[in-house]
Amino acid sequence: MAAKHGNLSINSDNIFPIIKKWLYSDHDIFYRELVSNGCDAVTKLKKLDMMGEYTLPDDYKPCIQVIADPDNKTLTFIDNGIGMTASEVEEYITQIAFSGATDFIAKYKDKTNDDQIIGHFGLGFYSAFMVADEVHIDTLSWQEGAKPVHWECDGGTEYDMDEGDWDQVGTKITLFLNEDCLQFCNEYKAKEVLGKYCGFMPYEIYLSRANTEEAPSLINDTKPLWTKNPSECTKEEYVDFYRKVFMDYKEPLFWIHLNMDYPFNLKGILYFPKINMEYESIEGVIKLYNNQVFIADNIKEVIPEFLLLLKGVIDCPDLPLNVSRSALQNDGFVKKISDYITKKVADKLAGLCKTQKDEYEKYWDDIAPFIKFGCLKDEKFCQKMTDYILFKNLDGKYMTLPECLEVNKIDPDEAAAVDENGEAVEAEVVDDAQDGADEKKEKTIYYVTDEQQQSQYISMFKAAKLDAVILPERIDQPFISQLEAKNEGIHFARIDADLTDVFKAKTSKKAQEEMAAQSEKIEALVRKALKNDKIKVKIEKLKNKKVSSVLTVSEESRRMQDMMKMYAVSGMDMGMFGGEGETLVLNANHPLVSYITENQDGENTAMICEQLYDLAKIQNTPLSAEAMMKFVARSNEIMMLLAK
């Protein structure tokens, strides 16, 4: 076979049905495309006036009219823009994918710029055939001596064109809707869709119903808030705009007004909403616009993923859109926009923390999920925000990470002791052997995940004049793991991870050796009573003589257990994770502990061991259903013994 070189050909009989059906995923988008074309036509005419090639009438008012006619099953779009000659209709309409906007820009590139020219691909007009069996165009060009043109097509690949009777500069497009799409000539449906896609287009859009005397309704706001200078906008305007656009009755916490001209053009407003995390989804809405034309909600290539939790609008005429304007080309420019938005958010938050700390603290509980999620998702954002993340301590005071590192720098010798009633007294002297541990403890930040569940530990911490931060949300665990990884020397430990020497009473070396020896025997006793050979048991003299037992779980083991449970297969026995890393600390200063050490073979010793474990466990984590039933039954049994 001889070698051959040629050109690919496209048969319009085959491609046109595809365009009609698949050009856009949402059929109602034809409203946007036809109105956008009308806006482009107006923009072109105004630019010709600016260049001195055309003179606009004194009473000229640029606008787009949309007329719904349910009786005749038509929709009509009228603009008073540049219009077309017969040759331009043939060039721009009959040639699919030939863009009149692109041609206009190329023709006048030395005299004007392409600001506010929306069209790029020459396909928007054909969206009309997704809903119409037949489309008519009546148009009159701005050019002197131009004759009106009438063009019509029944949805096939043939058209008819002749001289028309349209007598005003501009274009009228009439859609004869098919039976499946008659909803679009309903004025209420038209108003809904126009509001969605065209609510902020740059020229006034009026909707009316044919054959009525009612005045046309203005659909859009031609100068939305994001197009204004931030210094010109009031708080009331920001709040009103938020409520109007996002239909949210609550007032936003605060907002960031984006206004950038170089190296790309971007404007917008990002709102931090007040969210009830118990009842509401924290998914927000970012509306993306191009020259005030609605493109889509939450385009992930442009908006950083963590900011999709916010509500806002972004208008970027420089965005490289694909043919349907419903997705973005994933290129370096888009990444620059995303990075800019991230930087602006970080700068705003850092500025609030530095200059309006009181206000920042009021917002913190609401904005914390955004910031922590952002830190997990974006390394640059995390670097900028690390020093402006707030942690709430046990007294409800907010502290930054650097401030957290300054607390708990208490030498054990200076820690407050507590008497048998748990009240603070003058500090006891603790072995100097612990001094070497101070440096290591300086960068340990203790935290609480459940203030009610861990109340015993909190009480012990407060009595010892130690502090901890409250981290109750699920996102907090991966968040603190990241902080540890990014900040060398910083370690987070839950307050039940260990009992430091601050909580221990003064003991001699001989007494410590005796307790260590007892611990081995009691550990065997407790393991047998609990039928648990994983748990460790230690006997210590605690300063608070009211505390009989405390359960500690090493931070590493608990985090591993939490991670395993998170990824556990449905139906897996969670009991398999129990006991790992647990240490039951028995207070040698408590009578119950003295009883089991002195009566290891006693009739009730095993029952008391179980009760001591459950009392410690219940202050650490909720008991399982079975364990709770046993605990209640055992408590009743113990009370019966007391009643005898």
Note the pLDDT of residue 501. 78
Residue ranges and CATH numbers for the domains of the chain are 13-218 (3.30.565.10), 225-358 (3.30.230.80), 389-503 (3.40.50), 509-553+572-643 (1.20.120.790)
| DSSP conformation class of 436 | G
What is the spatial distance between Cα 351 and Cα 346, in angstroms, rounded to a whole number?
A: 8
Note the pLDDT of residue 428. 42
Note the pLDDT of residue 612. 94
- State which amino acid sits at residue 86: A
pLDDT band at 70 (very low <50, low <70, confident <90, very high): very high
pLDDT digits (tens, 9 = 90+) for 531-582: 888 899 999 898 888 899 999 988 888 888 777 766 654 455 445 555 567 8
What's the token pair of residue 131?
């809903």
630, burial (CB in 10 Å: exposed 0-12, middle 13-18, buried 19+) = middle
Q: Which residue has the tokens 């069996």?
A: 133
State how far Cα 369 lies from the chain centre: 8
402 or 326, which is more confident? 402
pLDDT digits (tens, 9 = 90+) for 73-111: 999 999 999 999 999 998 888 776 444 444 544 555 555
Among 274-283, 468-477, 557-566, where is mean pLDDT lowest? 274-283
Among 22-31, 219-228, 277-286, 401-410, where is mean pLDDT lowest? 277-286
What is the spatial distance between Cα 537 and Cα 530, in angstroms, rounded to a whole number?
A: 12
φ/ψ region of 622 (left if φ > 0, alpha if ψ in -120 to 50, else beta) reads: beta
Note the pLDDT of residue 217. 95
Note the pLDDT of residue 326. 45
pLDDT band at 147 (very low <50, low <70, confident <90, very high): very high
Note the pLDDT of residue 333. 74
- pLDDT over 70, % of the chain: 80
Note the pLDDT of residue 121. 35
φ/ψ region of 465 (left if φ > 0, alpha if ψ in -120 to 50, else beta) reads: left
Query: What average pLDDT score do residues 216-238 get?
Result: 94
Whose CA is closest to 129, among 149, 157, 109, 104?
157
Mean of all residue pLDDT scores within the chain: 82
pLDDT band at 316 (very low <50, low <70, confident <90, very high): confident
Q: Which residue has the tokens 């006036």?
A: 49
pLDDT band at 319 (very low <50, low <70, confident <90, very high): confident
CB within 8 Å of 351: residues ≥ 6 apart: none
- State which amino acid sits at residue 48: L
Note the pLDDT of residue 155. 74
User: Is residue 244 predicted with pLDDT exceeding 60?
Assistant: yes
* Sign of torsion over alpha carbons 519, 520, 522, 526: positive
The SS3 assignment for 295 reads strand
- State which amino acid sits at residue 568: A
Note the pLDDT of residue 264. 81
Helix axes 555-566, 476-486, angle to 10 degrees: 130
